[in-house]
Amino acid sequence: MDIIKVSASSRTSAVAGAIAGVVREHGRAEAQAIGAGAVNQAIKAVAIARTYLQEDGIDVICIPEFTSVDIEGKERTALKMIVEPR
């Protein structure tokens, strides 16, 4: 399962569709965002994905956690959101 990477310019509906699709297929999804704008888009996408999945009878929760990622040799802190059924 791949991590869904979200940027500040990501379309929330597209990210939400990706999250919902991964949850349907694998039972859980992980989205990762670095920076305030990206985190904003990611959390909105999780809320939209929750609505998509509720239509299929799947109630999901979001578990946020910090993680470190290496970008061009520099360590950055990212926010990882794990979306899984309740």
**Mean pLDDT of successive 10-residue segments in the chain (86 residues)?**
92 97 96 96 97 94 95 94 95
CATH architecture, domain defined by 4-85: 2-Layer Sandwich (3.30)
Q: What is the pLDDT of residue 2?
A: 86
Distance CA 44, CA 74 (A): 28
Q: Domain spans of the chain?
A: 4-85
pTM: 0.91
pLDDT the model gives residue 33: 97
What's the pLDDT at 11? 97
Helices (H) and strands (E) in the chain, counts: 2, 4
